[in-house]
Amino acid sequence: MSVEIKVSGETVTAYLSGELDHHSARAMREAIDNAVELNMPSRLVLNFRNISFMDSSGIGLVMGRYRNLKKTGSELCITETSEQIYRVMKLAGIERLAKLEGR
Amino acid sequence: MQINNKFSMNVMAKSANEGFARACISAFAAQLDPTLEEINDIKTAVSEAVTNCIVHAYKEKIGKIYISGELCENNIIRIKIRDAGCGIENVEKAMEPLYTTVGGERAGLGFAVMQSFMDTVRVRSALGKGTTIVMTKKISRRISLNA
């Protein structure tokens, strides 16, 4: 599990990798929240290209970030989800909270 | 139903075992020659059930999670996940999407994922005694090379 942060202008992109489950979610969440606090972006992008597995803990992570960003009017964007991850996201109706891009 | 193969194991209810349980079930299910999508469905459902044991059943202690798998006739895999934890007060309510008793970062989608990714999901629970989840999924028979 790791999170790589890249900042470009008003956008913070978090490149997530490994398996996203209840076990790994906390460390990922902390890494993302630290970067958001530090950079105050108007847009947070969560990149799932290197996530090999995700269960509903990933939905909790996305919903939690959405709630935080909403307070400052920032936008949440989710990119490069695999078919398996996309199906879990769809089940939760995540497209109502965040932009799903670049599958 | 005829059973062609079976495994059973128990693990401590620690979050590090979520990935371990997924790895075990996918290695076992591989005998039915599932598609990648089918394997992912099974792994996701098992991950939800095992996480429920850790987050809900054993809130105060680290108990044991009993996991077994059976390969049955007609290419059906049956998976049982049992805990001896606190039990579920209202199973119907617990199975409603987005319902959660712990809040925070839990989405309340565990059972919805299990139901969506498996063919059948049965839940038996008794307060103070524990919960048993039995899930089945029929694995499609891929066309064999010599057919």
Report pLDDT digits (tens) over A31-53. 999 999 999 999 999 999 999 99
Predicted-complex ipTM score: 0.92
Q: How far is A9 from chain B (nearest CA, A)?
A: 29
pLDDT of residue A5: 97
Query: Which among B22, B52, B70, B78 is annotated as catalytic?
Result: B52
**Which residues on chain A are in Cβ contact (under 8 Å) with B109?**
56, 59, 91-92
pLDDT of residue B1: 81
> How far, in Å, CA of B135 to CA of B61, rounded?
26
Q: What is the mean pLDDT of residues B86-112?
A: 88
> How far, in Å, CA of A17 to CA of A52, rounded?
7
Report pLDDT digits (tens) over A66-82. 999 999 999 999 999 99
Query: Taking 90 as the threshold, does the pLDDT of residue B106 lie above it?
Result: no
What type of residue is A16?
Answer: L
pLDDT of residue B38: 97
pLDDT of residue A39: 97
* A19 in reach of chain B (CB within 8 A): yes
Q: List domains and CATH numbers for chain A.
A: 2-101 (3.30.750.24)
Three-class secondary structure of residue B49 per DSSP = helix
* A91 in reach of chain B (CB within 8 A): yes
Are the beta carbons of B65 and A35 closer than 8 angstroms? no
Are the beta carbons of A28 and A22 closer than 8 angstroms? no
Asked if B113's CB is within 8 angstroms of A88's CB, the reply is: yes
pLDDT of residue A8: 96
Sheet holding B130-138, edge to edge: B3-12, B64-72, B76-83, B130-138, B120-126
Report pLDDT digits (tens) over A7-38. 999 999 999 999 999 999 999 999 999 999 99
Asked if B112's CB is within 8 angstroms of A23's CB, the reply is: no
Q: What mean pLDDT value characterizes chain B?
A: 93
> How far, in Å, CA of B41 to CA of B109, rounded?
14
- Residue A62 CB neighbours (<10 A): 24
Three-class secondary structure of residue A41 per DSSP = coil
Q: Which residue has the higher pLDDT, A102 or B41?
A: B41
| The two three-digit tokens of residue B62, written as one number | 């680290």
**Around A87, how many Cα atoms within 13 Å sit in the side-chain half-sphere?**
16
Q: How far is A44 from chain B (nearest CA, A)?
A: 18
| The two three-digit tokens of residue A25, written as one number | 């979610």
Q: What is the mean pLDDT of residues B106-123?
A: 94
Query: Taking 70 as the threshold, does the pLDDT of residue B143 lie above it?
Result: no
Report pLDDT digits (tens) over B2-24. 999 999 999 999 999 999 999 99
- Domain of B19, CATH number, reads 3.30.565.10
- Within a domain: B80: yes
Nearest to B105 among A19, A54, A60 (CB): A60
Q: Total structural domains in chain B?
A: 1
- Within a domain: B16: yes
Query: Which among B48, B70, B78, B82 is annotated as catalytic?
Result: B48
Q: What is the mean pLDDT of residues B108-122?
A: 95
Residue B46's domain comprises: 3-138
